[in-house]
Amino acid sequence: MSASRNAVLLSVLLALLVVSASAFVEELDDTFMETRGADDIWLIKFYAPWCLVCKQLDPVWHQIGAELKSLGSPVNVGKSDASVSTGLAKEFRVRGYPAILLLKKDVKYNYSGPRTRDGIMDFVNRVGGPLVRSLSSLQLFQHAMSRHNVMFVYVGATSPLKGNYTSAAEELIVHTYFFSTSRDVLPKAVSLPSLPAVVVFKDGAYFTFNEELDGDLKSWINRERFPNYFKIDSYTLYAMGESGKLVVLVLVEEKSLSEKSLRFKSLVDKVAADYREIYSRNFHFGFMEGSDYINGLVMGEVTVPSVIVVNLSNDGYFLPPGIMETERHLLEFLNGVLDGSIQCQGGNNVSQRIKRLIYDAKVTLTPVFQQAPLFGCFLVGFPLAIAAAFCYLCCRARPTMSDNDDNDGVALLAPSLQHRKKLTGKKSD
């Protein structure tokens, strides 16, 4: 009896926890845009009942709702079934599931990072707060520096440059933090050529925006928002492609690194730091654990460890023409990519897209055939059978050339037969 009673109590406790967590996440429908407050901030997850990733994210989503409420955050958390509330999904231009967005004063911010609690909470804290955060003391500046790998700071009084900076922050705050301060707050070691100025602090150094050399401020921020050399995942790699730069990538093992992997990582890290002034306008540098993502890009097995340069703007890639052992080898490789002597492979033209579809289908179906051959045959054979039956029915429904010829022949013969009958009638008369 005691065991059954404990099981019942445990079930009731779990149910209460689920209900209490659900109380912090509101289900939204097509009336949301009409009933929400003008100044409300909403974090919304769009899902579909059949989406497995959406179901896996659900406990994390309720945890985020409870945590934000306990912190007194002004951000409301909601979710919406996009297969039911189609009007709301259309309003937010939802294309895939789960889609995560933050609505703030009629501005919609899309979240494209990893579907984890830490990633989403950082996004909420960044976008839900002020566009540009003021640093009023050296202590606040040092605290911000300790928390952020990359930090953009506007220094000076109100100016047209600050207007451009705020405009860039409104769009790019989904990716990075923006701050403003006065010159006397910055450490004495920070030297600025003139004021006002926009400065990026990263990798233990700082760099000042120069309009003549760097061009558009927003484009410069988008290029500089990544550390000089760091660990890259698939989400970050995709975002790097949007900056217009190529990515110099070291592929290493996922767990225990070999001596060659450590040497490659050290080599690329050194070149990224020592030759920043030469290559930073064209390249990002980093390393990635595992090669699954890159295998899909090149449609084959990439050796690990290895060095590859990828162009995410057109799904192209560059491979070293020879061995990669010394700094000189790496510099020759990068220079060859820039001057065009090393040919770009891959791409996103029609033929490459067809090849990639075939490759993706092969990669997806091969494990199925290995584990369940009959089910694999059904997956491939059933659509082919449907297509064959459809083509057969279309061919049966279309009139053949012989039928058309026969009908035309009858139509042509009919007048001559009638004419012959008239002639026969005259002769009989």
Residue 318 in tokens: 């560059």
Coil, strand, or helix at residue 382? helix
Closest of 235, 215, 234 to residue 223, by C-alpha = 215
Coil, strand, or helix at residue 218? helix
Instruction: Return the residue matching tokens 């045959």.
Output: 377
Instruction: Return the residue matching tokens 């007194």.
Output: 72
Q: What is the DSSP string of 152-206?
A: EEEESSS-HHHHHHHHHHHHHTTTS-EEEE-GGGS-TT---SSSSEEEEEETTEE
| Helix-helix angle 373-397:350-371, to 10 degrees | 130
Residue 425 phi/psi, 5° resolution?
Answer: -65, -40
Q: Which positions are catalytic? A: 51, 54
List C-alpha distances in Å: 356 to 70, 228, 377, 402. 47, 31, 21, 43
**Under 8 Å between Cβ of 268 and 326:** no
Residue 160 in tokens: 């047209």
